[in-house]
Amino acid sequence: MKISLLVPVYDYDIIALVHGMKSGLGKVPEFIEILIGDDGSSAEFKEKYRAIEGEGVRLISSEKNIGRAAIRNKLAMEASGDYLLFIDADTVLQGTSETYFRNWLSMMSVYKVICGGVLYHDAPPGDPDKLLRWTYGKWYEQRKASEKNKNPHEWFTTFNVMIEKSVFSKIRFNEGLKQYGYEDTLMGYQLKKAGIDVLHIDNGLVHEGLETNKEFLNKTKLGIENLSRLYDNVTDKRTFSRNAKVLRTYNSLRFFRLTGLLARFYIRYRDRMEIRLDSGNISLLLFRFYKEAMFCTYREIHKRKKVNPIF
pLDDT computed for residue 24 by the predictor: 92
pLDDT computed for residue 86 by the predictor: 98
pLDDT, mean of each 10-residue run, the chain (311 residues): 96 96 93 97 96 95 91 96 97 95 93 98 94 96 98 97 96 81 93 97 97 96 94 94 95 96 97 94 96 97 78 79
pLDDT computed for residue 109 by the predictor: 85
Q: Closest Cα to residue 164, out of 198, 215, 212, 125?
A: 198
Cα 285 to Cα 267: distance, rounded to the nearest angstrom: 18
The DSSP output letter for 137 is I
What backbone torsions phi and psi does residue 16 show, to the nearest 5 degrees?
Answer: -65, -40
Tell me the domains of the chain and their CATH numbers: 3-210 (3.90.550.10), 217-302 (no CATH)
* Edge-first strand listing for the sheet containing 118-119: 91-92, 205-207, 118-119
Kindly report the length of the chain. Answer: 311
pLDDT computed for residue 247 by the predictor: 97
pLDDT computed for residue 33 by the predictor: 97
Burial of 43 (0-12, 13-18, 19+ CB in 10 A): exposed
Residue partners of 296: CB distance under 8 A and separation at least 6? 250, 253, 259, 260, 262, 263, 266
CA 100-106-112 angle, 5° bins: 95
pLDDT computed for residue 197 by the predictor: 97
Prediction pTM value: 0.95
pLDDT computed for residue 310 by the predictor: 77
The DSSP output letter for 128 is G
Cα 166 to Cα 83, 94, 112, distances in angstroms: 8, 29, 9
What backbone torsions phi and psi does residue 303 show, to the nearest 5 degrees?
Answer: -70, -10
Residue partners of 165: CB distance under 8 A and separation at least 6? 76, 79, 81, 82, 83, 84
pLDDT computed for residue 9 by the predictor: 97
